[in-house]
Amino acid sequence: MARSKTSAAWLKEHVDDVWVQKAQKDGYRSRATYKLAEIDDKDRLLRSGMTVIDLGSAPGGWSQLLSERLGGQGTILASDILPMDPLPDVQFIQGDFMEDEVLQQLLDAMQGRQADLVISDMAPNLSGMNAIDQPRAMYLVELALDLAEQVLKPGGDFLAKVFQGEGYEDYLKLLRSRFDRVVTRKPEASRARSREVYLLARGFKG
């Protein structure tokens, strides 16, 4: 019973959510679009002609904004274990990028280019038990950073959703050792009670 009550509460919060309603009205695939939009508006992440990798892209909220703001001038590679409907100017690779075959597909699609920006909105399927969820979440952002280090050009940027908790400070320290500067962002479209923040690491040291 508790689970169905929780599910019902989540569903009601989701349906009533101003950002969900705004996304539906504006034709975006998810409320997450506004998180990236706010970060880009503030930090000027996106620019014409850049090569971007979007990890954990489904249903496509971030890729949609990338497509819109790059306007066909650039390369957008998106990847997720889940399927994602096509988007203009976005090449989607379905699969787990931890697998060599999928990683190779990503690298092949880059055609020898290095990435200007790697973004990750990945999150594990949450169990509601922090002792399980937090290590899973940290594992995913560590994998995202590992990929970023393989593909980013020197001076490139990395943006990832991270959940505050065990392992967070160590991860922050790791980012600071790999990039020139790291800032924390909590966009308006992030639920206030959520432990999620976005870490923006700029100037990859290579």
Q: Is the peptide bond before 187 cis (omega within 30 degrees of 0)?
A: no
Q: Look-up: residue for tokens 């050792």? A: 177
Q: Is the peptide bond before 83 cis (omega within 30 degrees of 0)?
A: no
Single out the catalytic residue among 161, 173, 186, 205: 161
Q: Look-up: residue for tokens 């560590």? A: 142
Question: Residue 101: what are its φ and ψ, rounded to 5°?
Answer: -65, -45
Q: Which amino acid is at 94?
A: Q
Q: In this structure, are residues 189 and 38 in contact, taking their beta carbons and an 8 Å threshold? A: yes
Q: What stretch of H or E contains 137?
A: helix 130-151
Q: In this structure, are residues 62 and 28 in contact, taking their beta carbons and an 8 Å threshold? A: no
Question: How distant, in Å, are the alpha carbons of 25, 151, 187 from that of 107?
Answer: 36, 8, 31
Q: What stretch of H or E contains 36?
A: helix 32-43
Provide the annotated binding site. 60, 62, 80, 96, 121
Provide the annotated binding site for S-adenosyl-L-methionine. 60, 62, 80, 96, 121
Is 12 one of the catalytic residues? no
Catalytic residues: 161
